[in-house]
Amino acid sequence: MTTGRPDRNSAKARSTAIWAAEPNGAADATLVLSITDGLQPRRYTFSEIVAVKTGVFTVSLTQYHDTMATDPKEPLKRLTRGTANEDNPDTWPEVPRMLRESEFLFPPPWQEIFGPLCRGQVDEMVVVAQCGQSIDARIATASGHSHYINGVEGLAHLHRLRALVDAVVVGVGTVVADDPQLTVRRVAGPNPARVVIDPNGRLPPSAKLLGDDGARRLVITGGRPPPGLPAGIEIVPLATADGRLAPAAVLAALAERGFRRILIEGGSNTVSRFLAAGCLDRLHVMIAPMIIGAGPSSVSLAPIERVDQAIKAPMRAHILGDEVLLDCDLSAQRIGIGIAKKSR
């Protein structure tokens, strides 16, 4: 069996199973279901597949014989992160292109990690925020030192996120503190546009992210642009209320300018504002194996009385080297940004 596709006129989801087992291999091979009814593609083991309630697959197999294969007897090559070689090729460089060309079944292990970023659940935008933090949710020491909490894998993940989005957004506090470049350097992939939220004109004209490397650079202001900006910077004036810019207005302004997949990279003030406003689809929390003990935390929201008032964020964990990525699904509380979702 290589495909499972119900009648074309069926109202049921059209699903395609892609065989990922090795001929005559173990029974715990993975089956990929690409379900085109709004759900994200997912991978299942055979034991799970029996329980999947798609109404399409009810298979239970114990052994896969190559007589069932439609394709070559060559065993599938699998990527073990960090050990890319002839037998385990690094498949990452294909992923940014696949995402932009709407090929939404990435090679392992990328589908598991980045598949949820393919399509928005609420509208056409996909907004992901990231926090690089210690086990105790600190993003810096009490004195503000933060380089680097995350290790090689955590930083590579951040650069992969940048390579997948159209625009990366930071608050002016991060620019003043860290002077980041916000480019993709640790992995293959295109540089996103760089966006700074700067309601009070604090952005230093010498900031590295304003450098002209071909990427679009935008400054979202509260009407008072910072003085002395280099040529080519796009100024986006937005209305403020009590000095605050509505995160939904920021996203709508970015959507108007052609940016649909957005990374809110930090810092905690900016991420917290987008989270509180219901403007995130996902939150990627990258936990480094250290305890800092004091210092700013990754998110900070208004106090709540009761635990049942907490934002619910179903999550999946991924082990990346000696760090843990929590991919938190916030789509249930995500508000619409006012951009119609195209029918598929």
Residue 339 near residue 261 (C-beta atoms within 8 A): no
Please count the residues of the chain.
Answer: 344
Among 173, 190, 204, 321, binds ligand NAP (CB under 6 A): 173
Residue 128 backbone dihedrals phi, psi, to 5 degrees:
-120, 135
Q: Is 144 in the site for ligand NAP (CB under 6 A)?
A: yes
Residue 337 near residue 251 (C-beta atoms within 8 A): yes
CB of 340 to ligand NAP, least distance (A): 24
Residue 196 near residue 175 (C-beta atoms within 8 A): yes
Among 166, 265, 323, 327, binds ligand NAP (CB under 6 A): 265
Beta bridge partners of 16: 34
Beta bridge partners of 297: 138
Stretch that binds ligand NAP, among 75-83, 128-136, 160-168, 186-194 (CB under 6 A): 128-136
Q: Is 324 in the site for ligand NAP (CB under 6 A)?
A: no
Note the Cα 46 to chain centre separation in Å. 27
Spatial distance between the Cα atoms of 76 and 32, rounded to a whole number of angstroms: 14
Closest CA to 311 of 321, 297, 301: 301
User: How many CB atoms are located within 10 Å of the residue 237 CB?
Assistant: 13
Q: Is 179 in the site for ligand NAP (CB under 6 A)?
A: no
Quick note: the x/- pattern for ligand NAP over 218-257, rule CB under 6 A, is: -------------------------xxx-x----------
Q: Is 117 in the site for ligand NAP (CB under 6 A)?
A: no
Among 197, 288, 313, 325, binds ligand NAP (CB under 6 A): 197
Give residue number: closest CB to ligand NAP: 267
Q: In the window 266-285, what residues touch ligand NAP (CB under 6 A)?
A: 266-270, 273
| Residues of this chain that bind ligand NAP (CB under 6 A) | 130-132, 139-140, 144, 146, 149, 170-174, 177-178, 197, 199-200, 202, 243-245, 247, 265-270, 273
